[in-house]
Amino acid sequence: MLRMFSRYFAIQAGAYGIDMGTFLLFAHVAGVGVLWANVAGKVVAGAVAFFAHRRITFQVHGLGGAHGQLLRYALLLGLNIPLSSGVLALLLPFIQWPPLAKFASDAICLGLTFLLSRYLVFTAPRDSRGS
């Protein structure tokens, strides 16, 4: 489990770079509100992270179960986006610099996302013969 979490963390770090880069681009360059920029970052990074986590973190190969995993991952992302945005909104009055508040929010959500990914999203497809 520790090795799997290490892989998860490494991929998540790369995806987080995409998330934070998209966030900064939308919030500071395009002038989109902080919470909407957070949503944009999560969607872009989530798309990249799904494929990397499936193949590298949880070592799921082939197409077996891919559609179900994609659906469950999209639902997890649908849970994570409002959760992280809510935590971000709660932190903004206390942490005045939005990128730092976003980082703290995402750190708070990291463990929960790993556990849900591991046990609910990237599960091996079940053998229909019951073995």
**What's the pLDDT tens digit per position in 31-65?**
899 999 999 999 999 999 988 888 888 777 766 67
Name the residue ranges covered by the structural domains of the chain: 2-121
Does the pLDDT value for residue 13 go beyond 60?
yes
Over the range 120-130, which residues count as b (16 or more CB within 10 Å of their CB) and which as e?
ebbeeeeeeee
Q: How far apart, in Å, are the Cα atoms of 52 and each of 45, 64, 100?
A: 11, 16, 26
Q: Per-residue confidence at 127, pLDDT binned at 50, 70, 90?
A: very low
Amino acid at 116: L
Q: pTM of the predicted model, to two decimals?
A: 0.75
What letter does residue 62 receive in the DSSP assignment? S
Count Cα neighbours of 67 within 13 Å in the Cβ-side half-sphere. Answer: 0
Q: Per-residue confidence at 130, pLDDT binned at 50, 70, 90?
A: very low
**What's the pLDDT tens digit per position in 76-109?**
889 889 999 999 999 999 999 999 999 999 998 8
d(CA 35, CA 104): 14
Element spanning 109, H or E? helix 98-116
